[in-house]
Amino acid sequence: MINANTNTGNLNPLFHPAAHYAFPGDVLSDNGLSVPEKRIILSSWASDIYAVESCPALREIPGIGHTIRIADILAALRKLDGDDDDPPRPGGLAMRLRRSA
């Protein structure tokens, strides 16, 4: 069980609970985790602290030997919320306001 109040800064990343998953889908499919535990793991992965400096759309998670796309992490978080649709498109429809005479 993941304890959100535990300071894992001194632990080897291989012992960090989130390091036992290679992809966001692995977190989602683990039936041994509760929804809040899955959210904790995925939210921590989405944190800017793990952003790749030269490519902020990627995350380097300690204990995982490859980068993960932030889009994949956010999609997994949306699935936890029951929102499997495509992500909302950025920006809205342009509107022209009528000038009052």
Q: In sequence order, which residues have a C-beta less than 8 Å from that of residue 70 and are 6 or more positions away?
A: 46, 51, 56, 57, 58, 59
The secondary element (H helix, E strand) that includes residue 52 is: strand 51-52
Helix axes 35-46, 70-80, angle to 10 degrees: 160
* Higher per-residue confidence, 86 vs 67: 67
Contact 20, 72 (CB under 8 A): no
What does the mean pLDDT of the chain come to? 78
The pLDDT of 53-69, averaged and rounded, is 91
Task: Report pLDDT for 89.
Answer: 58
Copy the structure tokens of residue 5. 């109040």
Q: What percent of the chain has pLDDT over 70?
A: 63
